[in-house]
Amino acid sequence: MADSPTQTGMDPEIFSQFIDQLQRYVRERLIPAEDVVIANDRIPDDLVDEMREMGLFGLTMPEEYGGSGMNVPQYVETIRVLSYALPAYRSITSINLGMVCSALKNSGTEEQKSEWLPRLAAGEIACFGLTEPGSGSDSAAMATTAKRDGNGYVLNGSKRYITNAPHAKLGLIMARTNDEALPRNAHVSAFLVPMDSDGVSVGKPDRKMGQSGSHIADIYLDDVKIPGNALLGGEEGRGFATAMQSLDNGRLSVAAASCGYARRILDTAVKYATQRKAFGEPISQFQLIQAMLADSQAEIYAAECMLRDASTKADRGKAIIECASAKMFASEMCNRVADRCVQVHGGAGYLAEYEAERFYRDSRIYTIYEGTTQILQLVIAKNMLREFAAGAAA
C-alpha cells in the first residue's frame, strides 16, 4: 500500500519550544504534586486547568477546531515527555487525543467535528466505550444494542473498565446495529453520546492495583434515546473499524507512556544505586547491579527507536503491525525495567515508602489495556500472514 502524505503538524521550532516548556512543567509542577494526587486519588482541579491552558487536551485537534494540529510523531513525543510523571496526567488527556479525536477526524461528519472537536480541544473530557463485561476484543459477543427509533436510536447495555467515565462529557459508544455477527464486524456502529443523556449512568470508580488519580468505571445505558446525527459518520456498520483505527493511536500513546515512565523508573534506580552503600561502597559499583541498569537502558533505547519509527509510519498511513509491535515491546519493557528497579532497591523496593513499589504497580497495566500482549501477538501475526498472502497472490 502506498504511503499517504505526512501530516504537516506544528512548526518544528515552535514544537521544540513547547517540549522544553512541557519538560519544565513536568518537573516543576506535576512531579511535586504526585504525593497529593496519590493521597487523594485525583488530580487537583488547578492542575487540570493548567493542563487545559497549555493545550494538552487539544494536541491532535486541527487548528481550525481550536487544537494544536500536531502530527503523529509530535503527539507521541509529547505523550512520552508528559509520561515521565505520574500516569494519571497522561490518562486524563489521552482518550481525548488518541481515541475520540482520531475517530472524529477519520470518520465524523463535518457537523460532528464542528460540534465536538472544539469542546474536546478546550478540555471537555471524553471516554471510549468498547469493552463490556463479556466482550473486549471479541466484538461478536458485544451485547450493547442500538435499535432504530424513528429518526434516532435507543441504546441499551453496559460498558466496563472505561477510562475517564466518571469525568466524561462525551462517550464514543460502540453498539450492535444488527443482531447477527456480520463479516468484518459490520454489526457494530459507533455513537457520540453526551454523558448527561437520560438513561446514562456511571458506576463507582473501580479500585485498582496502581495508577492512582486515574479513574475507570462502568457505564450503564438504559433506554438512552439519541438522535440519528449521533451515529458517527452517519453510516451504520463502521463502528468496529473506527475503533480499530483509533486503537493504533491509542497503542502509540501507551507505548509512549511506557517509554516515558520507564525512563523515570531507571533514573530513580540509578539515583538509588549511587546513594545506597553496601560493603563500604555504593551498590552502583557492583557489576550485577550495573548489568540490570545497562539492560534497562538498552531496552528503553530500543523501545524509543521503535516508537519513533512506528509514529512516523502511522503519520503516513496505516501502520497496524508497527503500532502493535511498538506497544507490545514498550509495555513489556516497562514492566521489566520496573521489576529491575525493585530488585536494585532490594528490601526497600517492597516498601511503599519508596517509589519503586509504586512504579511496579503502575506499570503492570501497560501490557493489558489497548490490547493485551497476547492479543497484539495475534494482530501482528494475522497482518503478517495477510500481507504474505497478498504478496504471493500478486
Per-10-residue mean pLDDT of the chain, 394 residues long, equals: 60 96 98 97 96 94 92 96 97 87 90 95 93 77 93 96 94 91 82 97 95 96 97 89 80 96 98 97 98 98 98 91 97 98 97 97 94 95 95 80
Q: Name all domains of the chain by residue range, CATH numbers in brackets.
A: 12-124 (1.10.540.10), 127-236 (2.40.110.10), 241-393 (1.20.140.10)
Q: Beta 170-176 vs 126-129: how paired, if at all?
A: parallel
R_g (Cα) of the chain, nearest Å: 21
Q: Give the pLDDT score at 230.
A: 96
Q: Give the pLDDT score at 242.
A: 79
Cell of 98: 488518541
Q: Taking the model in full, what pTM does it have? A: 0.92
Helix axes 239-275, 72-82, angle to 10 degrees: 40
Cell of 305: 527507536
Alpha carbons 376 and 366: distance in angstroms, whole number = 12
Which residues are tagged catalytic?
370
Alpha carbons 155 and 219: distance in angstroms, whole number = 12
Query: The cell 457520540 sits on which residue?
Result: 192
For 231, phi and psi rounded to 5 degrees? -70, 115
> Could you report the per-residue pLDDT of 302-315, keeping only the tens digit for each?
999 999 999 999 99
> Could you report the per-residue pLDDT of 228-278, keeping only the tens digit for each?
999 999 999 987 787 777 778 889 999 999 999 999 999 999 999 999 999
Q: Give the pLDDT score at 180.
A: 80
Distances (CA, A) of 50 to 135, 316, 328: 37, 32, 32
Helix (H, G, I), strand (E, B) or coil at 255: helix
